[in-house]
Amino acid sequence: MFRNILIPTDGSPLATIAVNAGIVFAKESGARVTILAVTEPFHLFSVEPEQLSGTREEYEALARKHATEMLTALAHKAEAAGVACQTAQVSSNEVYRAIIDQAKLKDADLIIMASHGRSGVGSLMLGSVAAKVLAHSTIPVLIYRAKK
């Protein structure tokens, strides 16, 4: 049914669980996976701790290094499970848009991603990447939610 599944991750524990579940789903479906890391560019004004110290160059090098290490480890997991895997890393101010664009570029027929399940003011202020992907994607999206 599915040929190529895009699995975006931010490296958080829930996103990693969703990647693992996506790998299992892909194996059962006979699909390959593309694991995607989207890093946000350095912002002069930010509330993100990793963007408050150091220079733009230091932040961007650290973000690329972290994403590369994370993607390499996840690709090894997929390959160990017998699932063909490729990885992609992009930088964008609009994470949801980058996910959708990469899904189209990689010819994905399903996106599997985590939702942190924020509610109330937190979701209004932060916005939900998962909700935006759901709202704007023409490709089917499977959301992996945290168990409560």
pLDDT in tens, 4-57: 999 999 999 999 999 999 999 999 999 999 999 999 887 655 555 554 556 778
Residue 49 is classified by DSSP as G
Mean pLDDT within 90-95: 94
pTM: 0.85
C-beta separation of 112 from 84 below 8 A:
no
- Element (DSSP H or E) covering residue 112: strand 110-115
Q: What does the pLDDT read at residue 88?
A: 98
Residue 44, classed as helix, strand or coil, is coil
Q: What does the pLDDT read at residue 125?
A: 41
Percent of the chain with pLDDT over 90: 68
- Give the chain's domains with CATH numbers: 4-145 (3.40.50.620)
